[in-house]
């Protein structure tokens, strides 16, 4: 197998080398000069979305109000979409109440000790088609609550609270209870919904002092810190080569075409413009365990995971529910049993998604319609 692959590669190299008479040693299919990144002393620092917006009005306009912009927000009457107008909902025998006091929101529910308490809602998480809430269980400790608000219109089945663990009753004290580590903001949510998150876990005190540069997914969450770029743009009048001052290369889609080679069964890049898109998007858009550290490549830092069936051990590929995904993300590598318990597949999980450069990244994410885990992976056994 490996030998066969090596032969194909050699054959490809041969074709390329002969097609490219001038520089045979360079393996390029379509050449476009990639300008060297000018060097400015010192590592780049974050400057903030507002600073970028001052020169890139159009991009800022496109980003403002996007899901990246709204990934995490302070809970205010403008940002909270759920109904907190003294609404009571049931989870098995438990009653949860959503209340509002002026501009402040709170949830009355059973805490980790099984006692009923009123927890202030501090932040919103996500925006559409569902929104979740971060509540403070003790000063500085944020947990994501497990009743989510379905933001779709009523006619589509939305405008209601729904529980993310509908299939079995999770009691206070259980690791999968909403007060447990799997739903702790620092541990399980922070690094994908904000920009430049540092978890800052202290082993001795067993506490996090998590910080982020921006609350949401700002420009530099994708482009990387921009101080060098701004410095270069401010000091030089001339038009600069592409990616001036950034460590990441993100060429536009028309410079990154994928196509099928005759006889091949997987699409390959037909243009050679280097891109860091996968390593930019994948840390947030894949199911993975964070190994820590500051490795430059995705695989240095993360261990990519696939969701596995409870009974068959098969991977779910597409269609795993948000809950399975986020719980499993949080527990990968640490709590095998809760991962197994949490894994469910949605109906239609058997259909692999079409392979485009972006859907490779997105295959591990929940399709928007599939909130309620109505079928387990077992029924998705056909492939
Ligand atoms: C002082 C003005 C200024 C600021 C501030 C600024 N930029 Fe730029 N940026 C420019 C100019 C000018 C260009 C070149 C425009 C062009 O080629 O069309 C550019 C180009 C870019 C490009 C395209 C690079 C490429 O590959 O061609 C990106 C991406 C970019 N900026 C992102 C950002 C981000 C993110 C921030 C905030 C960290 C930012 N810029 C802040 C002026 C600025
Ligand atoms: C810092 C983490 C992070 C990075 C990096 C990131 N995303 Fe996202 N992305 C998110 C989060 C979180 C959401 C959902 C936010 C919400 O629903 O409020 C999201 C949502 C999206 C959506 C759905 C938006 C919609 O309107 O439905 C798309 C598409 C997307 N991202 C594409 C990308 C691409 C492409 C890249 C890389 C160029 C990327 N993202 C990089 C965190 C990230
Ligand atoms: C590995 C990165 C990552 C982690 C960790 C993460 N999220 Fe997200 N989250 C995303 C991305 C990416 C999206 C957008 C997915 C899409 O639109 O398809 C998203 C979307 C959402 C949404 C909006 C619903 C939707 O379908 O767009 C909510 C609510 C949410 N996340 C809550 C949470 C909570 C609560 C946690 C912690 C328990 C968490 N997320 C942890 C990456 C992450
Ligand atoms: C979710 C990731 C993500 C976020 C957030 C993001 N960008 Fe980008 N940006 C990209 C990618 C990927 C490209 C290149 C591919 C493309 O053009 O779609 C790009 C391209 C650009 C370009 C070059 C456009 C061109 O015509 O070549 C500019 C300028 C830019 N972004 C500025 C910004 C600014 C300013 C913000 C914040 C307001 C921002 N970006 C937020 C991912 C992101």
Does the beta carbon of 52 sit less than 6 angstroms from any atom of ligand 4? Answer: yes
User: How many angstroms does the Cα of residue 349 sit away from the middle of ligand 3?
Assistant: 19
| 232 pLDDT tier (thresholds 50, 70, 90) | confident
- The percentage of residues in the chain with a pLDDT greater than 90, rounded to a whole number, is 46
**What is the CB neighbour count within 10 angstroms for residue 222?**
17
The 10s digit of each residue's pLDDT in 235-267 is 864 555 555 788 888 988 888 888 888 888 888
Q: Would you state the pLDDT for residue 297?
A: 83
Closest C-alpha to ligand 1, atom 40: 52
pTM of the shown model? 0.80
3-state SS assignment for residue 121: strand
Mean pLDDT of 67-95: 97
Q: Would you state the pLDDT for residue 381?
A: 24
| 74 pLDDT tier (thresholds 50, 70, 90) | very high
The 10s digit of each residue's pLDDT in 317-366 is 444 444 444 334 333 333 222 232 333 333 333 333 332 222 222 222 23
Mean pLDDT of 24-29: 36
Q: Which residue has the higher pLDDT, 359 or 120?
A: 120
Instruction: Find the ligand nearest to 324 CA.
Output: 3
* Ligand 4 mutation pick, 69, 223, 276, 285, max ligand atoms within 8 A of CB: 223
Residue whose C-alpha is closest to residue 176's, from 317, 368, 326: 326
Residue whose C-alpha is closest to residue 136's, from 116, 98, 106, 172: 106
List of E strands, the chain: 72-74, 87-91, 94-101, 104-110, 116-125, 130-138, 141-144, 147-150, 160-163, 201-202, 207-208, 258-259, 268-269, 288-290, 302-304
**CA 123/CA 71 separation, integer angstroms:** 10
**CA 56/CA 53 separation, integer angstroms:** 5
Q: Which residues pair with 86 in a beta bridge?
A: none
Where b means 16+ CB within 10 Å and e means fewer, 164-192 reads bbbeeebebebbbbbbbbbbbbbbbbbbb
**CA 290/CA 48 separation, integer angstroms:** 25
The ranges assigned to domains in the chain are 72-208, 267-383
Mean per-residue pLDDT over the chain, rounded:
74
Residue 164 host element (H or E): none
Q: Which residues pair with 72 in a beta bridge?
A: 125
**CA 198/CA 213 separation, integer angstroms:** 9
Instruction: Find the ligand nearest to 282 CA.
Output: 2
What is residue 184's DSSP assignment? B
The 10s digit of each residue's pLDDT in 41-73 is 568 999 999 999 999 999 999 999 999 999 999
Q: Kindly tell me if the per-residue pLDDT of 121 is higher than 60.
A: yes
| 207 pLDDT tier (thresholds 50, 70, 90) | confident
Residue 158 host element (H or E): none
**CA 281/CA 298 separation, integer angstroms:** 10
Closest C-alpha to ligand 3, atom 33: 189
Instruction: Find the ligand nearest to 195 CA.
Output: 2
Residues at CB less than 6 angstroms from ligand 2? 66-68, 70-71, 126-127, 192-193, 217, 221-222, 277, 280-281, 284-285, 358
**CA 332/CA 337 separation, integer angstroms:** 10
């Amino acid at each position: 197998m490996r030998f066969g692959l090596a032969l194909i590669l050699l054959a490809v190299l041969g074709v390329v080398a002969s097609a490219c008479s001038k520089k045979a040693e360079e393996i390029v299919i379509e050449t476009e000069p990639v300008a060297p990144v000018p060097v400015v002393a010192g590592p780049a620092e974050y400057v903030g979305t507002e600073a970028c917006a001052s020169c890139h009005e159009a991009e800022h306009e496109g980003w403002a109000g996007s899901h990246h912009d709204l990934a995490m927000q302070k809970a205010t009457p403008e940002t909270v979409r759920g109904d907190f107008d003294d609404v009571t909902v049931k989870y098995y025998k438990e009653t949860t109440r959503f209340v509002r006091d002026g501009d402040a929101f709170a949830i009355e529910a059973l805490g980790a000790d099984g006692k009923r308490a009123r927890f202030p809602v501090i932040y919103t998480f996500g925006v559409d088609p569902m929104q979740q809430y971060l509540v403070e269980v003790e000063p500085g400790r944020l947990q994501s609550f497990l009743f989510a608000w379905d933001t779709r219109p009523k006619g589509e089945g939305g405008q209601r609270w729904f529980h993310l663990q509908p299939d079995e009753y999770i009691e206070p004290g259980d690791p999968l209870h909403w007060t447990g580590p799997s739903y702790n903001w620092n541990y399980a949510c922070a690094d994908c919904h904000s920009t430049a998150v540092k978890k800052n876990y202290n082993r001795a005190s067993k506490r996090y002092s998590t910080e982020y540069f921006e609350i949401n997914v700002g420009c530099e969450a994708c482009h990387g810190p921009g101080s060098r770029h701004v410095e270069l743009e401010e000091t030089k009048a001339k038009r600069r080569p592409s990616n001036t001052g950034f460590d990441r290369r993100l060429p536009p889609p028309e410079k990154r075409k994928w196509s099928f080679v005759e006889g091949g069964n997987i699409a390959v890049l037909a243009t050679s413009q280097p891109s860091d898109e996968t390593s930019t998007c994948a840390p947030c858009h894949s199911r993975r365990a964070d190994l820590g550290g500051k490795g430059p490549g995705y695989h240095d830092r993360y261990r990519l995971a696939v969701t596995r069936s409870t009974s068959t051990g098969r991977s779910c590929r597409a269609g795993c529910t948000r809950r399975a995904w986020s719980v499993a993300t949080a527990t990968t590598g640490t709590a095998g049993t809760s991962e197994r318990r949490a894994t469910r597949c949605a109906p239609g999980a058997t259909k692999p998604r079409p392979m485009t450069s972006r859907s490779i990244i997105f295959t591990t994410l929940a399709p928007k319609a599939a909130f309620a885990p109505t079928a387990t992976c077992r029924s998705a056994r056909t492939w």
